[in-house]
Amino acid sequence: MARPTGPTIARWQLARELRTLREAAAITHADIAEVLGCSESKIYKIESGHTGVGRGDLLVMLDRYHATDEAHRQTLLDLQKQGKERGWWVKYGQLPNPYSMYIGLESAATAVKNFELAVVPGLLQTENYARATVIAQRVGDSKQDVDRRVQVRIARQACLTEEPPLILWTILDESVLRRQMGGKAVMRDQLHHLIQVSRLPNVTIQVLPFSEASHPGTLGNLAILEFPDDVHSPVAYIETLAGDVYLEWEDDLRRVTLHYTHMHAAALSKTKSAELIAAIARELA
């Protein structure tokens, strides 16, 4: 089955084209904002792909940018339409905007590298483990909200087996394996699932053992999402109680990538990691 990418890539492609056309026409953000009767910040958001653009506004922009080639205009109109489509996840109901944004990025990504300090990442969770995690983390959520979160989390995992499959490289702190989320039985099944999914050719799981106590991951979780070179540069994602943080500037990405490289070097090999996971699972038998 083909892997759905959602509207994110179309918005990015349109954003890049509009930015190129505006600059070629020597028109400033302020100029086009005045024509459209909107703020400059909206133009910046459109050109970064963070927000879509209406068909009417797009037609005005193309005229102002002297984009007269009909085939090119139609391509951009098609991208605008695709960028306005709703993502596959909307069928699960209303989700918080930050979560929807992350799912959109994940759906568009070709590869994800992440580090988890406390729990197994969502793409590798069993349903029972996911439910226990959501209940623990989403204090006060209704059963309906918990069910929706779990359903979406499990649905996201299809990206690992659909074509083209997402390349996933996960580094887990050993505490993730020792924390009995949901109880012994749930955790044992989760560990067995990690061993099974690690056999996929596009999935790599490494463990940072307790013996490597000093590493940048003590600062917390992080994820680096990579996209086709002609679509977007990598984006780093950090989730906190204060809100979600997305890093796109080159200096920020260089720092995050350096941290991840240090953790990768300190972690056990894929084979040794699988052996440790299996050993901990046996302790829960």
C-beta of residue 94 within 8 angstroms of C-beta of residue 209: no
Percent of all residues in the chain with a pLDDT value above 90, rounded to a whole number:
69
Nearest 5°: phi and psi at 38?
A: -130, 180
Q: Residue 1: its pLDDT value, please? A: 66
The mean per-residue pLDDT over the stretch 198-204 comes to 97
Q: Residue 237: its pLDDT value, please? A: 92
- Chain region(s) in the chain for CATH 3.30.870: 93-283
Model pLDDT for residues 91-150, shown as the tens digit of each residue: 888 888 788 889 988 998 999 999 999 999 999 999 999 999 999 998 888 999 999 999
On average, the pLDDT of the chain sits at 92
Q: Residue 96: its pLDDT value, please? A: 81
List % helix, strand, coil for the chain (3-state, nearest 5). Answer: 55, 15, 30
Domain 8-83 bears CATH identifier 3.40.640.10: no
Q: Is the pLDDT of residue 2 over 70?
A: no
**DSSP symbols for 55-115:** HHHHHHHHHHTT---HHHHHHHHHHHHHHTSPPGGGGG----HHHHHHHHHHHH-SEEEEE
Going by pLDDT thresholds of 50, 70 and 90, the confidence category of residue 195 is very high
- Chain region(s) in the chain for CATH 1.10.260.40: 8-83
Residue 273 exposure: Cα atoms within 13 Å on the Cβ side: 26
Q: Taking the domain 93-283, which CATH number applies? A: 3.30.870
Going by pLDDT thresholds of 50, 70 and 90, the confidence category of residue 210 is very high
Q: Is the pLDDT of residue 28 over 90?
A: yes
Q: How many residues belong to the chain?
A: 285
Q: Residue 141: its pLDDT value, please? A: 86
C-beta of residue 98 within 8 angstroms of C-beta of residue 237: no
